[in-house]
C-alpha cells in the first residue's frame, strides 16, 4: 500500500497527553483503546470527544481530541446512571407491560424515570421486584447499541401501535435532529428492547452492578399539572457496592438532618395551607437563632463601615420598569395590586430601593464608598413543585448590601467583601470554594467594562489568597461575579455568598457622583449577599448542625434542674444570675426524675444542664452536664457563668 492510500484510510486523533495516534477511518474510541492497551480496552466505558461525553463506539474524525473514560473518571458516572435508567425502564415494562415511558434524566447522585402505569400505583414492594428484574437484565450483559432512525414516520407508527404516546410526542419534536434509538441486544445481536434516546450510554450492561431504587413520587408529563399524571421512580447507581453503601449511609445521615423533620422535633418553623406554600413562620426557638445571627451580622458590618437602611416592601411598578425587572424578571414577580389607580408590585429585589436612597442627594467622590446594608425582605414567584421547606420559598429576607464607589475603589471594596465572607463562613463552620463567573455570550456593557470589573473581582481574591476557579461564561448578563459554594458538616454543597459588579443599573438609574474634576461620573455599584436568604441559610444551618446549635445560637442555652423542692430557691437564684447576664436559661422544676429531665433536655439539644441537690446547695456549687460531653463535674456559679460567656464570645461549636 502506498503512503497516499494509507493517509486516505487512516485518521489522526489527539490524546489528553498531547500525543497523536492514528486509527482507521470509521473506527471508534473502542479500537483506539485497544490499540493503546488491552487493559484500557477492557475498562473503557465511554469517551470525551472534543469535550463532549459520547458512546465508546462513536466513530472518530480527523483531529478529534479523545479522552477514553473508565470508571475512574468522574465524567463517566453519568453514563452508568443514565444506562441504569434504561435498564430500570426495561424492567418496569417487563413487570407492567402496559407502562408507558416518559423521560429518565440523571440528577445529582442518581437518576429518575417517569412512567404512566394505568390502574396501578407503585409501592415499595414493587421497587424490590423491579430491582430484581433489573439485576437479571444487567447480568445478561446486554449491549446498548445506538441506532439512527432511518424512517421517522415508520418509527412513529410503531410507537403509536405500542401506545407509547410520550415517545410519539418527543420523536415528532426531534424528527429533524437525527433522532436515535438505543437497542438493547443480547449476545447473539438480537434486539430485546429499545428506547428513544440521544445517549450516550455504556457499551453494555455488564458494569451495572450497584444500584438502588429509592422512592416513588408523583409527577406530570413535562412538569405541567394539566397534563398526564405520571409516577416517578428515583434511583441511584454507583460503580461498586462499597460506593453504593457509602452513599446510602450519607443519605440516611442527610435524612436524619432534614430541617423539616428537625423542625417538628425542636419546634422551629411552620408553613400553613391557609396561608399558602413557600411562606415561612419562624417560631420562637428559630426566631431566637435568627436574632442572634442578625445581631452578629450587624456588628460585623458596622465594624466594616456599612450603614443600615430599611426600604418598603411594595413600590409603584414604574420603579421596576426603570430597573428593567419588568422586562427581564417579570416571571418571578407577583401581579400588580391597584393603589389609587396605580399598579404596585411586591419587590423581588432590594437594589432599586437602595438606589433611591443613594439618589436622594448629590454625592461627591469624598462621600464614597457608601456601603448600604439591609436585611431586606423580597417576594419571588417559584413554581409550587420546586418549593422545599425553608430552602426554596416565595418570601425571604436577604442580607443584601450595595456598595457605591469609584472605579479606583472597586478592588479594595471587593477585597473587604472577600474578608467578610471568610470571617462569617468560618464562624459558622463551613468550608467553601469560590468561582469567578465571567462574561456570558449574551451580555450588556462593553468589553472594557467587563474586563475592568472581572479583573477587580479576580485581583481582590488573588490579593487575599482566596483560592478560586474560573466559571467561564457563568456571569449574569449584566455582571461578572464571585459565587461561593459552601460545604456543610457532611460534605454537601450549598449555594453561598455572591458578589456582583453591576454594569447595568448605574446606567438605568443614572447613578453618579461628582469627581475631583467637578464633573459627573458614573458610580460603580456592587451587589453582595453573604448569607443569601436568611430562610435558606438558617434552613441549611439546621442541617449543618443537625439541630444542635452552638451555644451562641442555641434557643435555650442552659436548663437548671433542682433535684427536689428544697433546692428550688437556690435554683431560682442561679437562673436569675444567668438571666441577668443575658444567658437564655430555663428552670425545670418538674417532679420528674433528674435522669428523665436530662434526657429531655438532650433531645431538645440544650447545650448545658445544671443540677442542684443537697451536696451542691450545701457547698455553694453546681453540677454541670453538657449535651454531648456528659458530666463536667461541679463548679461555682460564677465559674459556670464565665465559662458560658467565653464559649458564647468565641462562638465555638462544640
User: 182 or 545: whose CB is closer to Zn ion?
Assistant: 182
Neighbours of 234 (CB within 10 A): 17
- Asked if 265 and 603 touch (Cβ cutoff 8 Å), the reply is yes
User: 197 or 456: whose CB is closer to Zn ion?
Assistant: 197
- Segment near Zn ion (CB under 5 A); pick from 159-167, 183-191, 343-351, 357-365: 343-351
Q: Which of 47, 197, 268, 594 binds Zn ion (CB under 5 A)?
A: 197
φ, ψ dihedrals at 396, nearest 5°: -155, 160
Instruction: Work out how close the CB of 502 gets to Zn ion at its nearest, in angstroms, rounded to a whole number.
Output: 7
Neighbours of 120 (CB within 10 A): 13
User: 347 or 527: whose CB is closer to Zn ion?
Assistant: 527
User: 81 or 259: whose CB is closer to Zn ion?
Assistant: 81
Out of 82, 347, 527, 627, pick the active-site residue.
527
Instruction: Work out how close the CB of 179 gets to Zn ion at its nearest, in angstroms, rounded to a whole number.
Output: 12
User: 403 or 425: whose CB is closer to Zn ion?
Assistant: 403
Cis peptide before 200 (omega within 30 of 0): yes
Instruction: Work out how close the CB of 153 gets to Zn ion at its nearest, in angstroms, rounded to a whole number.
Output: 22
38 is catalytic: no
Instruction: Work out how close the CB of 641 gets to Zn ion at its nearest, in angstroms, rounded to a whole number.
Output: 43
User: 378 or 461: whose CB is closer to Zn ion?
Assistant: 378
What is the C-alpha to C-alpha distance for residues 385 and 393, in angstroms, rounded to an integer? 11
User: 68 or 87: whose CB is closer to Zn ion?
Assistant: 87
Q: Taking CB under 5 A as the criterion, which residues in 441-470 touch Zn ion?
A: none
* Closest-CA residue to 67 (of 31, 14, 22): 14
Instruction: Work out how close the CB of 287 gets to Zn ion at its nearest, in angstroms, rounded to a whole number.
Output: 26
* SS3 category, 531: strand
- Segment near Zn ion (CB under 5 A); pick from 193-201, 508-516, 609-617, 623-631: 193-201
Instruction: Work out how close the CB of 527 gets to Zn ion at its nearest, in angstroms, rounded to a whole number.
Output: 3
User: 259 or 481: whose CB is closer to Zn ion?
Assistant: 481
Q: Residue 395: beta bridge partners?
A: 379
Q: Does 511 bind Zn ion (CB under 5 A)?
A: no
Q: Taking CB under 5 A as the criterion, which residues in 516-535 touch Zn ion?
A: 527
Q: Does 627 bind Zn ion (CB under 5 A)?
A: no
- Segment near Zn ion (CB under 5 A); pick from 115-123, 203-211, 349-357, 618-626: 349-357
What is the C-alpha to C-alpha distance for residues 291 and 311, in angstroms, rounded to an integer? 19
Contacts of 378 (CB under 8 A, 6+ apart): 346, 347, 348, 349, 350, 395, 396, 397, 398
Out of 114, 207, 400, 483, pick the active-site residue.
400
Q: Residue 559: beta bridge partners?
A: 586, 609
What is the C-alpha to C-alpha distance for residues 73 and 56, in angstroms, rounded to an integer? 14
402 is catalytic: yes
**DSSP per residue over 465-528, as a string?**
T--EEEETT-SBTTB-EEEEEEE-TTS-EEEEEEEEEESSHHHHTT-EEE-TTSSEEEPEEEEE
Out of 143, 259, 402, 625, pick the active-site residue.
402
**DSSP per residue over 99-131, as a string?**
-EE----EETTEEEEEEE-TT----HHHHHHHH
- Segment near Zn ion (CB under 5 A); pick from 183-191, 194-202, 542-550, 591-599: 194-202
User: 351 or 561: whose CB is closer to Zn ion?
Assistant: 351
Per-residue b/e over 45-81, b at no fewer than 16 CB within 10 Å?
bbbbbeeebbbbbbebeeebebbbbbbeeeebbbbbb
Instruction: Work out how close the CB of 419 gets to Zn ion at its nearest, in angstroms, rounded to a whole number.
Output: 20
User: 371 or 527: whose CB is closer to Zn ion?
Assistant: 527
What is the C-alpha to C-alpha distance for residues 525 and 413, in angstroms, rounded to an integer? 11
- Cell numbers for 199, please give them: 445517549
380 is catalytic: yes
φ, ψ dihedrals at 455, nearest 5°: -65, -35
- Segment near Zn ion (CB under 5 A); pick from 40-48, 191-199, 403-411, 601-609: 191-199
- Segment near Zn ion (CB under 5 A); pick from 69-77, 139-147, 223-231, 347-355: 347-355
- Asked if 482 and 499 touch (Cβ cutoff 8 Å), the reply is yes
Instruction: Work out how close the CB of 70 gets to Zn ion at its nearest, in angstroms, rounded to a whole number.
Output: 20
Per-residue b/e over 237-257, b at no fewer than 16 CB within 10 Å?
bbbeeeebeebeeeeeeeeeb
Q: Does 351 bind Zn ion (CB under 5 A)?
A: yes
Out of 100, 481, 536, 567, pick the active-site residue.
481
Out of 351, 399, 483, 597, pick the active-site residue.
351
Instruction: Work out how close the CB of 100 gets to Zn ion at its nearest, in angstroms, rounded to a whole number.
Output: 17
- Segment near Zn ion (CB under 5 A); pick from 208-216, 351-359, 455-463, 624-632: 351-359
- Asked if 349 and 378 touch (Cβ cutoff 8 Å), the reply is yes
- Segment near Zn ion (CB under 5 A); pick from 32-40, 69-77, 154-162, 344-352: 344-352
604 is catalytic: no
In which order are the strands placed within the sheet that holds 431-437?
307-308, 370-379, 395-405, 524-533, 493-502, 481-487, 431-437, 468-471
Out of 380, 439, 544, 567, pick the active-site residue.
380
351 is catalytic: yes
Chain centroid offset of residue 456 CA: 27
Q: Does 183 bind Zn ion (CB under 5 A)?
A: no
398 is catalytic: yes
Site size with Zn ion, rule: CB under 5 A: 3
User: 184 or 563: whose CB is closer to Zn ion?
Assistant: 184
Instruction: Work out how close the CB of 198 gets to Zn ion at its nearest, in angstroms, rounded to a whole number.
Output: 7
Instruction: Work out how close the CB of 133 gets to Zn ion at its nearest, in angstroms, rounded to a whole number.
Output: 18
What is the C-alpha to C-alpha distance for residues 532 and 510, in angstroms, rounded to an integer? 27
What is the C-alpha to C-alpha distance for residues 410 and 529, in angstroms, rounded to an integer? 17
Out of 93, 142, 231, 398, pick the active-site residue.
398
Residues of this chain that bind Zn ion (CB under 5 A): 197, 351, 527
Point out the residues that are catalytic.
Answer: 351, 380, 398, 400, 402, 481, 527
Amino acid at each position: 500500500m502506498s503512503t497516499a492510500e494509507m493517509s486516505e484510510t487512516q485518521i489522526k486523533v489527539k490524546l489528553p497527553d498531547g500525543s497523536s495516534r492514528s486509527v482507521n477511518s470509521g473506527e471508534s474510541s473502542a479500537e483506539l483503546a485497544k490499540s493503546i492497551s488491552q487493559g484500557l480496552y477492557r475498562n473503557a466505558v465511554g469517551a470525551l470527544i472534543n469535550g463532549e461525553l459520547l458512546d465508546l463506539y462513536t466513530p472518530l474524525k480527523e483531529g478529534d481530541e479523545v479522552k477514553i473514560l473508565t470508571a475512574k473518571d468522574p465524567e463517566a458516572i453519568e453514563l452508568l446512571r443514565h444506562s441504569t435508567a434504561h435498564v430500570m425502564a426495561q424492567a418496569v415494562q417487563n413487570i407492567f407491560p402496559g407502562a408507558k415511558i416518559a423521560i429518565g434524566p440523571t440528577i445529582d447522585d442518581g437518576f429518575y424515570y417517569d412512567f404512566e402505569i394505568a390502574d396501578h400505583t407503585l409501592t415499595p414492594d414493587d421497587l424490590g421486584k423491579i430491582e430484581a428484574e433489573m439485576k437479571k437484565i444487567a447480568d445478561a450483559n446486554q449491549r446498548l447499541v445506538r441506532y439512527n432512525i432511518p424512517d421517522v414516520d415508520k418509527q412513529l407508527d410503531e410507537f403509536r401501535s405500542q401506545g407509547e404516546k410520550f415517545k410519539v410526542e418527543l420523536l415528532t419534536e426531534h424528527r429533524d435532529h437525527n433522532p436515535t434509538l438505543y437497542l438493547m441486544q443480547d449476545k447473539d445481536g438480537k434486539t430485546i428492547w429499545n428506547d428513544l434516546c440521544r445517549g450516550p450510554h455504556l457499551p453494555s450492561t455488564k458494569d451495572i452492578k450497584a444500584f438502588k431504587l429509592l422512592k416513588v413520587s408523583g409527577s406530570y408529563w413535562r412538569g405541567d399539572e394539566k397534563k398526564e399524571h405520571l409516577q416517578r421512580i428515583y434511583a441511584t447507581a454507583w460503580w461498586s457496592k462499597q460506593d453504593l453503601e457509602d452513599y446510602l449511609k450519607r443519605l440516611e445521615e442527610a435524612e436524619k438532618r432534614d430541617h423539616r423533620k428537625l423542625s417538628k422535633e425542636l419546634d422551629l418553623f411552620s408553613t400553613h395551607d391557609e396561608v399558602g406554600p413557600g411562606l415561612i413562620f419562624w417560631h420562637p426557638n428559630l426566631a431566637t437563632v435568627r436574632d442572634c445571627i442578625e445581631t452578629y451580622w450587624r456588628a460585623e458590618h458596622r465594624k466594616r463601615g456599612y450603614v443600615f437602611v430599611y426600604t418598603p416592601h411594595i413600590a409603584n411598578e414604574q420603579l421596576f420598569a426603570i430597573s428593567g425587572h419588568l422586562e427581564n424578571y417579570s416571571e418571578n414577580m407577583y401581579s400588580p395590586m391597584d393603589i389609587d389607580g396605580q399598579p404596585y408590585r411586591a419587590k423581588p429585589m432590594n437594589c432599586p430601593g437602595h438606589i433611591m436612597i443613594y439618589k436622594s442627594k448629590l454625592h461627591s467622590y469624598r462621600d464614597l464608598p457608601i456601603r448600604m446594608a439591609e436585611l431586606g425582605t423580597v417576594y419571588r414567584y417559584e413554581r409550587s413543585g420546586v418549593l422545599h421547606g425553608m430552602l426554596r420559598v416565595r418570601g425571604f429576607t436577604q442580607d443584601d448590601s450595595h456598595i457605591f464607589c469609584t472605579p479606583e475603589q472597586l478592588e479594595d471594596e471587593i477585597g473587604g467583601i472577600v474578608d467578610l465572607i471568610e470571617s462569617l463562613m468560618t464562624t459558622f463552620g463551613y468550608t467553601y470554594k469560590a468561582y469567578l463567573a465571567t462574561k456570558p455570550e449574551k451580555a450588556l456593557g462593553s468589553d472594557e467594562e467587563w474586563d475592568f470589573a472581572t479583573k477587580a473581582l479576580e485581583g481582590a481574591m488573588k490579593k487575599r489568597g482566596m483560592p478560586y476557579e474560573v466559571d467561564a461564561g457563568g456571569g449574569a448578563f449584566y455582571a461578572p461575579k464571585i459565587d461561593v459554594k459552601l460545604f456543610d458538616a457532611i460534605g454537601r454543597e450549598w449555594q453561598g455568598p455572591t458578589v456582583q459588579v453591576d454594569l447595568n443599573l448605574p446606567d438605568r438609574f443614572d447613578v453618579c457622583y461628582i469627581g475631583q474634576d467637578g464633573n459627573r461620573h458614573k458610580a460603580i455599584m456592587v451587589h453582595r449577599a453573604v448569607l443569601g436568604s436568611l430562610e435558606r441559610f438558617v434552613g441549611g444551618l439546621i442541617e449543618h448542625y443537625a439541630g444542635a446549635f452552638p451555644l451562641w445560637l442555641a434557643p435555650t442555652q442552659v436548663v437548671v434542674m433542682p433535684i427536689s423542692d428544697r433546692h428550688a430557691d437556690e435554683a431560682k437564684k442561679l437562673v436569675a444570675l444567668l438571666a441577668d447576664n443575658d444567658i437564655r436559661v430555663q428552670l425545670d422544676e418538674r417532679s420528674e426524675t433528674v435522669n428523665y429531665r436530662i434526657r429531655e433536655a438532650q433531645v431538645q439539644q440544650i447545650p448545658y444542664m445544671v443540677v442542684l441537690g443537697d451536696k451542691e446547695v450545701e457547698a455553694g456549687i453546681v453540677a454541670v452536664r453538657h449535651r454531648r460531653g456528659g458530666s463536667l463535674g461541679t463548679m461555682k456559679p460564677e465559674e459556670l457563668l464565665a465559662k458560658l460567656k467565653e464559649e458564647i464570645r468565641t462562638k465555638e461549636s462544640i
